[in-house]
Amino acid sequence: MIFDTKVSDRRIWGSPAVPPVSADPEQLLASLAEVTHAIGHKLEGCVFYTQKKNVSRLATLVTDLLTFFEGLEEEEEFLFHSQVSASLSSLLFTLQEVEYLVVECSRKETSMWMLHQLGFVVGLFRALTSDIGKVMKDLPLWILTSRPLENLGRLLALGAAELEYERDRRDKVAANDLKEILYDLNKVSYPDAGKVRRILSHLGIDCWTDCQNQILYIEQWRTQKFFIGVSAFKI
């Protein structure tokens, strides 16, 4: 992987992606294939307690991206075009952010936070996918010798830009339950036991250790004020 490794302990909320240190298009392409394959592996092999529909839509996009990158290996004229290296670098940076978002969404101890920040997380899916679409649109796809590959690139540019992410109905119900529980706790009232059970079931929380890990993650987030870009949210 051709990344600047000076940044340690990177997280999606703390600008985890690092720019590539090499502009060599063949190395960039190899790194793109590696990161995309890693994202696909996580999407297939991990359990997601929230964002299930959005994860499924992202998985389809990632599969097509990997096919596109693998097809570029034989497109030497395209790879060495003057504007391709910058575009591949941008794609690599964005896909690193996608990978860390997927990792965070799949961690069991983050599920309560993900539910509380449901709209914010959906917005991240939209923003990162939109960035992919913009870069794909800027690529000189007309140079490609393979017409199927050119068509795939154009479909990716259009599809990524228009891909619809939304709040899953079950996530919305659980998020509303969570808000009501937090409201009751702030008023020093007992929360509805049925709502508590529904949330715990929705998030796969079935022991005290799971609860403690959720609290530790939220406290870590509050203390370190993780953020992406200029966005900051309070819990």
**Does residue 18 sit within a domain?**
no
**Amino acid identity at 90:** S
The structure tokens 């996530």 sit at: 171
**Amino acid identity at 76:** E
Same domain, 77 and 104: yes
Same domain, 58 and 130: yes
**Does residue 65 sit within a domain?**
yes
Q: Which two tokens stand for residue 143?
A: 């140079």
Same domain, 128 and 205: no
State the pLDDT confidence band at 12, using cuts at 50, 70 and 90.
very low
Query: Could you tell me the residue range of the domain that residue 125 belongs to?
Result: 25-108+119-162
pTM exceeds cut of 0.85: no
State the pLDDT confidence band at 183, using cuts at 50, 70 and 90.
confident
**Does residue 232 sit within a domain?**
no
Same domain, 80 and 123: yes
Give the closest residue to 159 by CA, choosing from 140, 133, 121, 179: 133
Query: What is the per-residue pLDDT for 10?
Result: 41
Q: What's the pLDDT tens digit per position in 40-62?
A: 999 999 999 999 999 999 999 99
Measured CA to CA, the distance from residue 84 to residue 138 in angstroms comes to 9
User: Does residue 13 register a pLDDT over 60?
Assistant: no
Neighbours of 152 (CB within 10 A): 20
Same domain, 148 and 185: no
Same domain, 179 and 142: no
